[in-house]
Amino acid sequence: MNITARALLVSLLLAGTGAVVTGCNTKKDIDLTKLGVDTDPPEMLYNQGLAYIKARNLTEAGKKFDAINQQQPFSEWARKALVMSTFVKYRTGRYDEAVQTGNAYLKQYPASEDADYVQYLVGSSFAKQIVDVTQDQRAAQQTIEAMTKLVNTYPKSQYVSDAQEKIRFARDQLAGKEMQIGRYYLERKDYLAAISRFRVVVEQYPTTNQIEEALARLVEAYYAMGIVPEAQKGGVEPSENSGSWISRAGKKLLLGT
């Protein structure tokens, strides 16, 4: 991808989703596009696609880039078009398609100059699908996996900082899901099940926003099970240097905090 095209993509990506122009690919539209592109060389199609992006007409831009891939798969123009097609699908909210196209690119061109950007688009597509903690958090886990791959594989990428921020958010979502389930069990006095969930937060997500409540809920659950009197009677006190969940929860119990 040339510098102009890459700069255009970055500026549009950071600008948000307000500029997206919606459209639908009806069978008629696809047939007309296919008839029109057969005589156009890939370079012309690519430049037309860029022009459509600049004009905020992402639907038409996507058609041009997809046409290049249909005409000359595995060519250099097709490589560039895959990047642009991933971007267009992401910006028009077709996140599953963006992931599919992006992964196809990364499989073919893992060391290309645009690989970090495509990996970022894949991770961002997952991030856009993260839902409330009351729902399934598969997208949060996929976000972590995709963005961690970006950070580890392309550590000098300009997208690392934002990738790390999305990882933090996704981890907080996963911790929030565990807390939601733990509170459910706690309300029903199923203390062992609740403790199991709160332990996950303390052990696996200690840097998330959920950690303080997780420790407090552990105190509550152990107190309800009679752990405090037993610990005080036995003179059990957690070590200052221990970072385990039981040490931290136990210390809060014994100190009454």
DSSP string, 202-250: HHH-TTSTTHHHHHHHHHHHHHHTTHHHHHHHHT----TT--SHHHHHH
Q: Considering only CA atoms, which of 150, 147, 11 is closest in space to residue 87?
A: 11
Q: Based on the structure, what is the number of domains in the chain?
A: 2
Domain annotation covers residue 202: yes
Position 18 pLDDT exceeds 80: no
The Cβ of residue 236 has, within 10 Å, a number of other Cβ atoms equal to 12
Rg, C-alpha atoms of the chain: 25
Domain annotation covers residue 211: yes
- What pLDDT is stored for residue 248 in this prediction? 55
State pTM to two decimals.
0.76
Q: Considering only CA atoms, which of 210, 194, 193 is closest in space to residue 202?
A: 210
pLDDT classification of 100: cutoffs 50, 70, 90: very high
The 10s digit of each residue's pLDDT in 149-164 is 999 999 999 999 999 9
- Choose the final residue of a domain: 92, 122, 155: 92
- What pLDDT is stored for residue 238 in this prediction? 39
Domain annotation covers residue 109: no
Q: What are the Cα distances from residue 173, in Å, to 34, 61, 136, 179, 193?
A: 43, 34, 10, 10, 20
The Cβ of residue 180 has, within 10 Å, a number of other Cβ atoms equal to 16
Domain annotation covers residue 162: no
Domain annotation covers residue 160: no
Domain annotation covers residue 197: yes
- What pLDDT is stored for residue 226 in this prediction? 83
What are the φ/ψ torsions at residue 206 (nearest 5 degrees)?
Answer: -70, -15
Q: Which domain holds residue 25?
A: 3-92
Domain annotation covers residue 151: no
- What's the CATH code of the domain at 82? 1.25.40
pLDDT (mean) for 14-39: 44
Taking a C-beta distance cutoff of 8 angstroms, is the pair 102, 68 a contact?
no
- Choose the final residue of a domain: 92, 111, 145: 92
The 10s digit of each residue's pLDDT in 165-205 is 999 999 999 999 999 999 999 999 999 999 999 999 999 99
- Choose the final residue of a domain: 92, 108, 125: 92
Domain annotation covers residue 135: no
